[in-house]
Structure formats: structure tokens, C-alpha cells
């Protein structure tokens, strides 16, 4: 149908609900033609569209009334004048045009949009809302535009905060702003049996909201819970604000969308923006659908398997700030813990766990490394100053080890100097007392204790907590 309209010299539209004594600027907004699903392609595809009122009198063309039509439909004037520009718009923007249109049959919500997204799929009447899901699957086969995920869940779509990857209908794009193509995002993505696979260049951040740093109507204080989440950037607005969707890390490389949160905006592209920490994954999976059996729609049940008996390294420890960790896939920067490689504690950590931390004592800041090995019976924790053991530090936090990790045996073979270290390190620092500079020795010690990771204000998971203490000797 879209191609037929595209090849037409002119398309004539009879607006049966436009009275002859009503000007188009007044009557067009209430005309049913502008809210029907199938008529969107009738408006967009032809170069020339002529309108007539219920009496058959000509009232103008789409070019003549481009301003009022653009206001009604959210379609830019440039697209109305040049239909070929349809395909310059993002997927989310095109979905926005259809967000308030209706069809008699649920399947036609999807079928009426095939030409607008330049995709083909067979029509299967009787499949209901499944048609719109198939449409989105066909779109991602042809377009690597992450804005297809820039939708906001409706109450019926969202249960207990978890939603699938795809929108249930175009109405969920109604709150999406006009997005521009984000040329720096060139991610490849495909639907697999593990979910939506993202590879290539995409931007995933750990978002730790800073009061006063939030922007936009969707991030106003009081409108959402000010809690940390992962954010996947999916597009940008005309004023260069990046738009993202909220995710939660389920397990190594596995994420799920949080539907109880709306869209988030990020000013500029500064990687060191307050509250934003870049996640260095180059391949992740996002659940396409929430499991119906066993897990239900409970976020706790989905996330707890990789957290039960995991190593928790609390951020709120006086004088200690986490700088980097290995192996990267196991680290959840939102919960500040090392996820289990396999769920339900069925396996131990196959590699050592390590974190480089910044120790702040008065005006001094010292970089240190703490290494943990679950399989070691004698000294599971060892520590050292990054500066004094630079080669050993680089072995852990540079190259392949950052992502793949390293076994305790291989670490000892490649860094034998670490064998004699312990869970504590002494720091000799100068401190000015009145007019004198005195040297003082501080002991930084790490230990393990059993604890619980609190979840959703009511549920918790048993974990092993890596505790730090600073003593004056």
C-alpha cells in the first residue's frame, strides 16, 4: 500500500467530518482521518495530497496546511514537503507519529506501519498484539537504531518494575521526544535465545543520581525514585541531550529493563560527568521477555541467583573509594559486588577478584590494590600499594586480564613478589601538626565477614562482605 501511495501523482482525501463552514486550521484537529492508523501512510507517502470537506469542496493541500498538520501529527514540515525524508528520521520518531492513531483490528497497528519502516512481513490476522512485536523484530534486522527502545512502559505492560525489551504498542512512544540519529552509536544487535545481543559501539553507564544534576521532565525530583541504575544511551535530542533507558544487571553480561522508571536524560557527552560511570562491556544481553514460569515478574527472583553468597565490597567505607575492578564482567557497579559466574552458588569464582582503591587519609591519597582468592586456604586476601608494585598492578588491570581474569596459580607464577604479602599494608604519611611535619604510620586492613545484601526494603540475600579498616599505629 505504501508503495502505491508513493507512486501516485496525487492522493485525494475526503474529510467527511469537516463542515463546509469550518476553516481547516480549526477543523483539522478534530477530523478522524488524522487519528486513523492506515491514513498515516496516505499522508506521508504521496508527494501531493489534496483535501476536500464533506461537501466535496477543495480546502487545500498538505503543503498549504503543513503547519497545522505538523502540529496535529508531530511530523516535521520538512517530511511533509519531501516524503523521502521519512527515512532520515529515527525509529522512535516514526513510532511517535503513530502513537495516537487507532485501528479497528489490533494487527493493523503494525501492518499499517510496514512501509514507513521499509520492512516486509506476512500479514497474519488473528495474531493480535504479536504483530507489533514481529514488526519490531523485523525493524532491528534492517536498522541498527537504538532509539527503537526509547519507549515508556504503560501500567499494563509493567509489573513489579520489570519489562521486556520491546514495546507493546506505538502508544508507548507517546512521551518520547523527537530524537535525532546518534551517529556515534553504531551498535550491532540481534535477537537470540538469551535475549537481545548488543555488540560493537554502545554506551552503557552506571548512573548514580546526584541531587541537582537531574534534567528533564522525566527526571524531576519526586517523579522517580532517586536510586542508582545502569543506563543504556539510545538516542539524543535536538539540544544534544542524550536519552537513555534504565537497566539492571542480572548476571555477568546479562541485563533487564526496568519499566517502573521512565526515560533519563544526560547533558553533554562528558565521561566524567558527576554520577555517571562508563561500563566497559563490549557485549551484553538484555532480556527480550520476562520469564513467566518460576521467576514470575519478581525482580528479586531474577537477580538473586548470581548474588547469593557473592562478594560485596561496600562503597560507603570511610576513606576507601573503588577505582577499578577485575574481572569486569563479574563486577556490578550499582550493587558494588562481584557476581557469581553461575547462578545459585553452583560454582565458585574461577579467577581472583581484585579492586584498585583510593585510600584517603587527611590530605593524602594513596592508590592500593586488594586481591581476593576464594580457593586459598591460607591467605585469601593480599594488599599492596599500586606505586610500589606497578608491574603487578598493570598485570591485573591492563590487557586481557581485566575482562577474562586470572587464576591464583597463574598470578603467583607471573607475579611472584605478591606471594609474601598479607591482608594489610602500612602507609607512612606526613601530617602537619601545628608548625611541625610529623610522619605517622597508618595500617590499611581488609577482612571478610558474613552479611546480607538488602533488597527492595524487604528481601535480602546472604553475601560475604569485604570490609576495610584504617588504623593509626
User: How does pLDDT run across 418-449, given as a tens digit for each residue?
Assistant: 988 999 888 877 666 666 667 888 899 999 99
Calpha distance 446→228 (Å, rounded): 26
Backbone angles phi, psi at 307, to 5 degrees: -115, -15
pTM of this prediction?
Answer: 0.87
Q: Which letter does DSSP use for residue 144 in this model? A: -
Calpha distance 234→219 (Å, rounded): 16
Give, in degrees to the nearest 5, the angle at Cα 427 between 422 and 433: 155
142: left (phi over 0), alpha (psi -120 to 50) or beta: alpha
The half-sphere exposure of 350 on its side-chain side, counting CA atoms within 13 A, is 10
Contact between residue 81 and residue 66 where contact means Cβ atoms under 8 Å apart? yes
Q: Which letter does DSSP use for residue 177 in this model? A: P
One digit per residue, pLDDT tens: the chain, 473 residues? 899 999 999 999 999 999 999 999 999 999 999 999 999 999 999 999 999 999 999 999 999 999 999 999 999 999 999 999 999 999 999 999 999 999 999 999 999 999 999 999 999 999 999 999 999 999 999 998 999 999 987 654 444 578 899 999 999 999 888 888 777 677 888 999 999 999 988 889 888 765 434 443 333 333 344 567 899 999 888 887 888 899 999 999 999 998 766 777 776 554 555 677 778 888 999 999 987 655 555 677 788 889 888 999 987 777 888 999 999 999 999 899 999 988 866 557 888 999 999 998 888 889 999 999 877 656 689 999 999 999 999 999 998 999 999 999 999 999 999 988 999 888 877 666 666 667 888 899 999 999 988 766 557 888 999 999 988 87
CA-to-CA dists, residue 109 to 3, 65, 118, 171, 347, angstroms: 18, 26, 15, 10, 47
In tens, the pLDDT along 340-393 reads 988 866 557 888 999 999 998 888 889 999 999 877 656 689 999 999 999 999
Closest among 292, 306, 369, 368 to 335, alpha carbons compared: 306
Q: Are strands 459-472 and 311-312 parallel, antiparallel or unpaired?
A: parallel
Contact between residue 55 and residue 41 where contact means Cβ atoms under 8 Å apart? no
Q: 10 Å Cβ neighbour count for 342?
A: 14
Calpha distance 347→343 (Å, rounded): 8
327 preceded by a cis bond (ω within 30 of 0): yes
Calpha distance 310→164 (Å, rounded): 26
Sign of CA dihedral 124, 126, 131, 134: negative
Closest among 202, 200, 195 to 166, alpha carbons compared: 195
Calpha distance 289→175 (Å, rounded): 22
Amino acid at each position: 500500500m505504501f508503495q502505491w501511495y508513493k507512486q501516485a501523482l496525487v492522493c485525494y482525501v475526503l474529510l467527511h467530518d469537516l463542515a463546509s463552514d469550518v476553516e481547516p486550521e480549526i477543523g483539522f484537529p478534530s477530523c478522524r482521518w488524522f487519528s486513523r492508523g492506515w491514513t498515516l501512510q496516505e499522508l506521508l507517502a504521496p508527494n501531493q495530497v489534496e483535501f476536500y470537506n464533506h461537501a466535496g469542496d477543495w480546502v487545500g493541500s498538505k503543503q498549504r496546511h503543513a503547519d497545522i498538520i505538523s502540529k496535529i501529527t508531530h511530523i516535521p514540515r520538512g517530511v511533509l514537503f519531501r516524503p523521502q525524508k521519512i527515512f532520515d528520521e529515527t525509529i522512535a520518531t516514526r513510532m511517535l507519529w503513530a502513537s495516537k492513531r487507532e485501528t479497528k483490528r489490533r494487527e493493523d497497528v503494525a501492518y499499517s506501519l510496514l512501509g514507513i519502516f521499509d520492512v516486509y512481513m506476512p500479514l497474519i490476522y488473528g495474531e493480535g498484539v504479536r504483530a507489533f512485536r514481529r514488526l519490531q523484530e523485523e525493524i532491528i534486522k534492517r536498522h541498527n537504531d537504538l532509539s527503537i527502545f526509547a519507549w515508556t512502559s504503560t501500567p499494563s505492560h509493567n509489573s513489579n518494575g520489570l519489562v521486556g525489551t520491546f514495546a507493546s504498542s506505538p502508544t508507548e512512544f507517546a512521551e518520547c521526544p523527537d530524537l535525532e540519529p546518534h551517529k556515534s552509536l553504531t551498535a550491532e544487535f540481534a535477537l537470540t535465545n538469551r535475549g537481545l545481543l548488543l555488540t560493537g559501539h554502545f554506551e552503557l553507564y552506571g548512573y548514580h543520581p546526584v541531587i541537582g544534576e537531574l534534567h528533564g521532565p522525566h527526571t524531576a525530583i519526586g517523579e522517580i525514585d532517586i536510586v542508582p541504575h545502569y543506563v543504556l544511551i539510545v538516542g539524543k535530542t535536538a539540544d544534544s541531550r542524550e536519552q537513555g533507558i534504565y537497566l539492571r544487571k542480572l548476571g555477568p553480561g546479562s541485563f533487564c529493563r526496568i519499566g517502573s522508571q521512565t526515560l533519563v536524560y544526560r547533558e553533554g557527552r562528558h565521561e566524567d560527568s558527576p554520577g555517571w560511570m562508563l561500563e566497559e562491556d563490549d557485549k551484553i544481553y538484555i532480556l527480550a521477555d520476562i520469564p513467566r514460569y518460576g521467576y514470575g515478574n519478581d525482580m528479586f527472583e531474577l537477580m538473586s541467583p548470581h548474588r547469593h553468597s557473592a562478594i560485596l565490597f561496600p562503597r560507603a567505607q570511610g576513606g576507601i573509594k573503588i577505582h577499578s575492578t577485575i574481572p569486569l564482567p563479574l563486577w556490578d557497579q550499582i550493587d558494588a559486588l562481584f557476581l557469581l559466574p553461575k547462578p545459585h552458588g553452583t560454582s565458585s569464582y574461577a579467577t581472583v577478584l581484585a579492586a584498585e582503591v583510593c585510600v584517603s587519609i587527611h590530605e593524602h591519597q594513596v592508590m592500593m590494590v586488594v586481591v581476593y582468592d576464594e580457593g586459598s586456604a591460607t591467605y585469601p586476601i593480599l594488599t599492596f600499594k599500586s606505586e610500589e608494585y606497578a608491574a603487578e598492578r598493570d598485570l591485573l588491570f591492563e590487557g586481557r586480564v581485566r575482562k577474562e581474569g586470572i587464576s591464583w596459580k597463574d598470578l603467583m607464577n607471573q607475579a611472584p613478589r605478591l606471594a609474601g604479602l598479607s591482608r594489610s599494608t602500612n602507609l607512612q604519611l606526613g601530617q602537619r601538626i601545628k608548625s611541625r611535619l610529623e610522619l605517622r604510620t597508618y595500617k590499611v586492613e581488609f577482612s571478610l565477614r558474613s552479611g546480607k545484601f538488602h533488597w527492595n526494603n524487604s528481601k535480602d540475600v546472604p553475601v560475604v562482605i569485604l570490609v576495610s579498616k584504617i588504623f593509626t599505629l
